[in-house]
């Protein structure tokens, strides 16, 4: 991938969505400031230190993953509610979409390339189909050709049931500075790259799914009462929200009642929907 291929966040959202529809991904260079990166690293580095390497080929035997990341590194909240990422997801998914996964991935020297896959592949529906999710990979380190930059196959989100022969020839590496945002459709084929002799590569992947699907990570259980500390946007994304008329209800009521003592329901507000 060349610098000329990098997306400009100042372009109109319609143009970005059109590019995303054509290629299946967008790579925005350097969106996060040095201070934002440092605040995340200050929380994440000690957690990574205590985290064992992966348990299988997919996690990566020479890779560390930190799940339930909002619980371990709440400073990563800014990645979940980044306005550009949210705006793109809002164009590709239905209202009330949910946070499906949010985890750190640190790839060490000697890690081999991951299996080609797409993130919403575990929803077993025939292809082609629209994406069931939208994924981000936030580059907390610079992504280089040697340290495991994510590899993507442009246009693969339009494939049918079978991959074309020799599809790897068309793959590109998301080479980008620290603080960059890679966004891609949940049905785009990609993989974590190999780390061949480079320092560890740290990223956070933040993945949204349609509001009527089961989230990959059980966010509500992962965070427990800790969810109170997050913004209303993040609370809604983790599951303290209703997809009307009643997906997400708890005992016939809005789930926010569980963590917000001041929650005012629809009847009191005179609003028409049930369960809010
Ligand atoms: O770490 C990366 O670059 C991508 C990882 C990935 O695609 C995954 O684990 O699903």
**Each residue of 85-99: pLDDT tens digit?**
999 999 999 999 999
pLDDT at 3 over 90: no
Q: What is the pLDDT of residue 189?
A: 98
* Sign of CA pseudo-dihedral 53, 56, 61, 66: negative
Q: What is the pLDDT of residue 273?
A: 54
Stated pTM of the model: 0.95
> Could you tell me if residue 68 is left (phi over 0), alpha (psi between -120 and 50 degrees) or otherwise beta?
left
- Residue 63: name the closest of 53, 72, 71 by CA: 53
Q: How far is the CA of 139 from the centre of ligand 1 (A)?
A: 11
* Closest ligand 1 atom, residue 174 Cα: 3
Query: Is 190 near ligand 1, meaning CB less than 6 Å away?
Result: yes
Average pLDDT, the chain: 95
Query: Is 72 near ligand 1, meaning CB less than 6 Å away?
Result: no
Query: Is 151 near ligand 1, meaning CB less than 6 Å away?
Result: no
Q: How far is the CA of 224 from the centre of ligand 1 (A)?
A: 26
- Residue 115: name the closest of 192, 10, 188, 61 by CA: 192
Query: Is 60 near ligand 1, meaning CB less than 6 Å away?
Result: no
Rounded Cα–Cα distance for residues 71 and 226 (Å): 7
Question: Which DSSP state fits 180?
Answer: -
The 10s digit of each residue's pLDDT in 214-250 is 999 999 999 999 999 999 999 999 999 999 999 999 9
Q: How far is the CA of 256 from the centre of ligand 1 (A)?
A: 32
Residue 114: which pLDDT band, with cuts at 50, 70 and 90? very high
| Residues 15-32, mean pLDDT to the nearest whole number | 97
Mutate to test the pocket of ligand 1, among 133, 205, 206, 216 (most ligand atoms within 8 A of CB): 205
Query: Is 248 near ligand 1, meaning CB less than 6 Å away?
Result: no
Query: Which residue's structure tokens are 């069931």?
Result: 132
Rounded Cα–Cα distance for residues 219 and 209 (Å): 13
* Closest ligand 1 atom, residue 150 Cα: 3
For the domain with range 3-241, which CATH number is right: 1.20.1530.20, 3.40.50.10490, 2.60.120.620, 3.30.750.200?
2.60.120.620
| Nearest CA residue ID for atom 10, ligand 1 | 119
Residue 197: which pLDDT band, with cuts at 50, 70 and 90? very high
* Closest ligand 1 atom, residue 59 Cα: 9
Q: How far is the CA of 135 from the centre of ligand 1 (A)?
A: 10
The token pair at 160 is 């049918």
pLDDT at 194 over 70: yes
Query: Is 202 near ligand 1, meaning CB less than 6 Å away?
Result: no
* All CATH 2.60.120.620 domain ranges in the chain, comma separated: 3-241
Query: Is 150 near ligand 1, meaning CB less than 6 Å away?
Result: yes
Q: How far is the CA of 260 from the centre of ligand 1 (A)?
A: 35
Q: What is the pLDDT of residue 265?
A: 76
Phi, psi of 203 (to 5 degrees): -140, 160
Query: Is 192 near ligand 1, meaning CB less than 6 Å away?
Result: yes
């Amino acid at each position: 991938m060349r610098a000329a291929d990098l997306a400009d966040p100042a372009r109109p959202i319609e143009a970005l969505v059109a590019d995303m529809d054509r290629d299946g991904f967008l790579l925005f260079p350097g969106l996060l400031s040095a201070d934002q990166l440092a605040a995340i690293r200050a929380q994440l580095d000690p957690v990574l230190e205590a985290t064992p390497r992966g348990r299988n080929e997919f996690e990566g035997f020479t890779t560390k993953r930190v799940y339930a990341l909002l619980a371990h590194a709440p400073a990563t909240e800014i990645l979940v509610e980044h306005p550009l990422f949210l705006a793109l997801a809002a164009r590709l998914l239905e209202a009330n979409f949910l946070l499906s996964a949010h985890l750190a991935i640190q790839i060490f020297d000697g890690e081999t390339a991951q299996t080609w896959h797409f993130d919403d592949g575990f929803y077993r529906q025939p292809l082609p189909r629209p994406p069931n999710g939208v994924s981000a990979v936030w580059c907390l380190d610079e992504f280089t050709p040697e340290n495991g930059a994510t590899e993507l196959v442009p246009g693969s989100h339009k494939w049918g049931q079978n991959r074309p022969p020799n599809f790897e020839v068309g793959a590109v590496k998301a080479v980008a500075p620290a603080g960059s945002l890679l966004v891609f459709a949940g049905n785009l084929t990609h993989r974590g790259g190999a780390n061949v002799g480079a320092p560890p590569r740290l990223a956070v992947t933040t993945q949204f799914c349609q509001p009527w699907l089961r989230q990959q990570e059980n966010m509500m259980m992962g965070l427990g009462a800790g969810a109170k500390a997050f913004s209303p946007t993040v609370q809604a994304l983790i599951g303290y929200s209703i997809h009307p008329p009643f997906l997400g209800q708890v005992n016939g009521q809005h789930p926010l009642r569980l963590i917000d003592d001041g929650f005012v329901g629809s009847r009191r507000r005179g609003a028409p929907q049930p369960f809010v």
